Amino acid sequence: MPYFVINGKPSCPNFVHAIYVAQYLADKLPNFVFKKVEKLSMDWAIYLEQLNKENKWYVSESPLIWKEINMWGGKKHLIGGLSEFWEHVYCYYGLESLISKQELEFLAADNLKFFKENMAASSIQDVQVIAILGASSPMTCFLILELVEIKTLWKSQGIIFKLYDYHQTTDLKKLEITTEYVMYLNSLKRFGKHEMVYLCEHLKEVIQDADIVIDIEDFFKHDVETEAMFLNRCSFRMRMFAELLNHVAKRSVKVIMATSGPVCFMTSCISATCRRKKLSNIVAITADKAFPYITSVSETTGVPVDRISAPAVWGFVGMNQFVDVRNIVYKAEMYRPFKRSLTAPKDTSLPLGTVHTEIRIMSYMLKSVTDISDEVEEHTKKMLAKIHRPPIYSKVRATVSLLKLWSASEIGDEIISLGVASNGSFNIPKGIVFSQPVKLDHNRKWIPYSKFPLMNDVSRSEIKKCYTSVHATLVRFGLFENAQAAQSQFYTEEEYDAYERYLEGIAVQGEQSTESSNADLTYVF
């Protein structure tokens, strides 16, 4: 199959115009293939002279275009420069391309910038860059120490962690604590000479070269906020974040939302805005919601925790959820006797049977699913009252387990609970990020596992309730597929920052009445 080779300087408007048209044809025609060769001005003259000498050509300007009969090296059939390429394209494909001089100059400048960025990236050490948002969270240190042990995440030079905290400039105490453990982690010299952890001042600096972005910030509704105000605050932050991802992050970046609060809602806001990245790489951690149920079921039934699987977590986690305790399965050891066991004497030395492992549903061992749910809720309330923060170990474990599976050298057959963009499975509306059982496909994409068995109508009813109960919210924020979002109450980033500062002041004072607080909120907007 013939293919074209387009050579030129990345800053040359004619070269960029030729590439633009060639890319258009390659996207539209399956048999049109091209390759581009870019050389900076200092290298272009030498490169062009060598080509002219080898092929007895007399080309003096960029671009230089030829055609080859096959892609394995053959005779170069000269087409010429840009004007000859236009003639060839028009004769064969009937295509004309008209671009203004200003647009060509813009394309050339953008192409040169992209070329230099690629050159710089190729010279950087081969290292996995993981960005963690919410550096002041107590979860950060545990997460780093766990992730650094996952060797399938390493590149040849190991891992670098970049930390960022939205409030680091206002909370000096948190900044001091964060700086101390960054210094401690770097003192370990885990990957030799280069530092392992960096504390960054700007979000753009953190995510622009990140391979993985993990958000572990705390999002809680303040007492003075209505539900609508709280969701508006979350939506605005996530859409700002998504716009930054669109413009500076890698195309292949993985975004893992492990925040407290309405995690599926916030991840849906990112997916709805972040259209330039792979949406299958944007997920929400939800499996941690199932872990307390395993402990409770183990205590009730006497089955060891290591033999019990995590129940499926369904729902718009953070706003509603359904943990399907009825369908928890466990590994049971079953004794299968031989026929001789009926007639063999009591003192026989012959084997009378074998022990096999089976997967069984635990519902027959549970007297009341409601009691277990109530017990877990009560335990969670007591824990929050004592430690004044959400639990972190279950969130760390769920995040680490996800990355182990995602980065494994071989794709396994594990089914986990994860917030992913729905594809219509289980009658869940398309496009929203909904917690459900998922599996890693051959392209390393987390997709809903549509074959997951729903054993009874109660489970189906609870799942349906999870998405119907938030229908109005999804419509309001434009989170359904192809939906239009309503106008945000924040018009600028400055308004949002003012609102955040107001909430911080309320949290510190804690003495203002709800009535006066609501009056202040009215003043803010």
pLDDT(121) > 60: no
Q: Report the share of the chain in percent with pLDDT over 90.
A: 29
469 phi and psi angles, rounded to 5 deg: -70, -20
Instruction: For residue range 418-427, list pLDDT tens digits in order.
Output: 999 998 899 8
3-121 classified as CATH 3.40.30.10: yes
For residues 18 and 5, give the distance between their C-alpha atoms in angstroms, rounded to a whole number. 11
Share the mean pLDDT of the chain.
Answer: 82
Burial of 453 per CB tally in 10 Å (0-12, 13-18, 19+): exposed
Question: pLDDT band at 28, cuts 50/70/90?
Answer: confident
Answer whether 305's CB lies under 8 Å from 362's CB: no
Say which residue the tokens 């597929």 belong to.
481
| Distance (Å, whole) CA 49 – CA 423 | 55
Residue whose C-alpha is closest to residue 235's, from 256, 258, 277, 264:
264
User: Average pLDDT in the 1-21 region?
Assistant: 85
Please give the average per-residue pLDDT across 385-408, as a whole number: 91
Answer yes or no: is pLDDT of 122 > 70: no
Percent of the chain with pLDDT over 70: 84
Pairing mode of beta strands 3-8, 64-68 = antiparallel
Q: What element of type H or E holds 289? A: none
Tell me how far apart the 2 most distant CA atoms of the chain are, in Å: 101
pLDDT at 285: 96
pLDDT, residue 495, reads 64
Task: Read off the pLDDT of residues 341-363 as tens digits, 9 standing for 90 and up.
Answer: 778 888 888 787 888 888 888 87
Structure tokens at 145: 């120490």
**Average pLDDT over every residue of 112-139:** 75
Residue 18 is encoded by which pair of tokens? 């030729």
- The predicted pLDDT at position 522 comes to 32
Confirm if 82 and 14 have CB atoms less than 8 A apart. Answer: yes
Q: 257 or 525: which carries more pLDDT confidence?
A: 257
Helix (H) or strand (E) holding 482: none
Poorest-pLDDT segment among 234-238, 403-407, 474-478, 515-519: 515-519
Does position 512 have pLDDT exceeding 50, yes or no?
no
User: Which pLDDT band holds residue 146 (cuts at 50, 70, 90)?
Assistant: very high
The mean per-residue pLDDT over the stretch 149-172 comes to 83
What's the CATH number for 218-475? 3.90.110.10
Q: What is the pLDDT of residues 281-316, one digit of tens each?
A: 999 999 999 999 998 888 888 888 888 888 999 999
Q: Does residue 235 register a pLDDT over 60?
A: yes
Q: Contact 81/92 with Cβ under 8 angstroms? A: no
Q: Where are the domains of the chain?
A: 3-121, 218-475, 493-524
Among 8-17, 58-67, 141-150, 480-489, name the one with the lowest average pLDDT: 480-489
Distances 418 to 36, 140, 257, 430 between C-alpha atoms, Å: 41, 21, 10, 16
pLDDT at res. 175:
77
The answer to whether 502 and 509 have CB atoms below 8 angstroms apart is no
| 20 CB burial (10 A radius; 0-12, 13-18, 19+) | middle
- Give the pLDDT confidence score for residue 275 in this predicted structure: 77
- Give the phi and the psi of residue 74 in degrees, each rounded to 5: -160, -170
- The Cα 521–Cα 525 span in angstroms is 7
Name the most confidently modeled range: 161-175, 463-477, 510-524.
463-477
